[in-house]
A and B are shown apart, each in its own frame.
Chain A
Amino acid sequence: MFRLACRYIRSSTDSEDVLVMAFTKVFANIHGFDTRGDGSLEGWIRKVVVNESLMWLRRRHNFNMTESIEGNTDYVDLGGFSQLPVEEICRFIAELPNGYRTVFNLFVIEGYNHAEIAAMLEISENTSRTQLFKAKALLKKILTREGFHYGT
């Protein structure tokens, strides 16, 4: 869960604070949790940590995610990116700006759709899609800058 918080909040110290707050809420509401399977508890704790991270980001940073690109967004190929080692992937994701990084984490890694992301971040679905497109484009630029060649 600490690594999860570090993906949203780059500072490890702030990630620790977010983790403490998240687990405080977990222990406070554990009596109301209904176990449904092996992974349900992990998923529930994961949601709590993500929400706590987003709340922290909303208090300290202005996402300013109002810009949106009308029309179809081109497909950004991240095939080479997915074949990198996990440490490199996490390092490149941490280089993204707060808005791009948040939407990328919520969509690609957490698996939320744009409607859910829009509800969580209080933005429109188009803004969510735009942010994701821009995040992938930036990752592609970073890969080129780092010297990773990939081809399609």
Chain B
Amino acid sequence: MEHEDDLRIREKVRAHEQTPGALDKDRLWSVLALPGSARPAKRIAVYYAAASLILAAAVIFYSLELTHRKALELRLAEIELSLKQEKIPETAAMNPVAQEVACPEAEQRPKPQLARRTNLRKPVVVPENNAAHESTPPLPPVVALHAVPEPSLETITNQAPVTQPIEDQHAPAKVILGKSLSPSSVTKQGRLTFRLFLDEDNKSAAPLNATPVVTLAGINN
């Protein structure tokens, strides 16, 4: 019996201890907060209230500003309209110079005629009996253009042409600097002479000074 009572009390108390307790935030913050400082929850609420007040004041100010601006615009529009309506008679009375003056009829000038193309190739026929054109100078007669002579016909033959090809007619003289190709240019020592021009007969073209001897040993290797 006593043991059963003790067991019953034990079960109840242990079940109660295993039940999680509710968190008391205010008490917790009061324990954790530094001494002398306000509670963070209250501080945050104050901040929220201040921010909402500022926001509301800004919204109210902006709406008032908008309505005031609209009223100003309406008033300006009315003033402009009234000014426009009164402007015409007022300007006439204030500024007589600006009045419209009736001008006499303008002299009618002959309308300028469009210029037309004149065909110079066509022979101009000058009417004889037209008195209006007598004062104008006579036009020169049409002159035939200088005809290009036709080229003479050439017969086709099998003989080779005598004339030099067009390429070589005006080509400059070929100059070889260095090795000469003719066998006579090789001296007794087996050295190659130095020639300036291709034409070997034209000795006047050779330099007055002795031809420099260039040794090209092993060039044929």
Contact = CB atoms under 8 A, between A and B. Distances in A.
A78 B5 contact: yes
B84 interface: no
Given A86-B15, A109-B13, A79 B21 contact: no
B5 A90 contact: no
Given A75-B2, A109-B14, A89 B9 contact: yes
B109 interface: no
Contacts of A75: 1-2
Among B8, B13, B14, B21, find the residue whose CB has the most chain A CB atoms closer than 10 A. Answer: B13
Contacts of A109: 9-10, 13-14
Contacts of B10: 108-109, 111
A87 B21 CA distance: 13
A83 B8 CA distance: 8
B12 A77 contact: no
Interface string A61-86: 00000000000000111110111001
A89 B5 contact: no
Contacts of B14: 109
Given A3-B21, A75-B2, A81 B9 contact: yes
B5 A81 contact: yes
A4 interface: yes
B8 A86 contact: no
A78 B16 contact: no
A148 interface: no
A28 B114 CA distance: 116
Nearest to A12: B27
Contacts of A2: 21
Contacts of B16: 3, 86-87, 90
B201 interface: no
B17 interface: yes
Interface string A88-128: 01100000000000000001110100000000000000000
Contacts of A86: 12-13, 15-16
B128 interface: no
Contact of B17 (A3, A77, A81, A82): A3
B6 interface: yes
Given A3-B16, A86-B12, A107-B6, 17 more contacts: A4-B17, A7-B13, A77-B2, A77-B5, A78-B6, A79-B5, A82-B5, A82-B6, A86-B16, A87-B16, A89-B9, A90-B13, A90-B16, A108-B6, A109-B10, A109-B14, A111-B10
24 contacts: A1-B17, A3-B16, A3-B21, A75-B1, A76-B2, A77-B5, A78-B5, A78-B6, A78-B9, A81-B9, A82-B6, A82-B9, A83-B8, A86-B12, A86-B15, A86-B16, A87-B16, A89-B9, A89-B12, A107-B6, A108-B6, A108-B9, A109-B9, A109-B14
Interface of A: 1-4, 7, 75-79, 81-83, 86-87, 89-90, 107-109, 111
Q: Which 9 A-B pairs give the minimum distances between C-beta atoms?
A: A82-B8, A86-B16, A3-B17, A82-B5, A86-B12, A78-B5, A108-B6, A82-B9, A109-B13
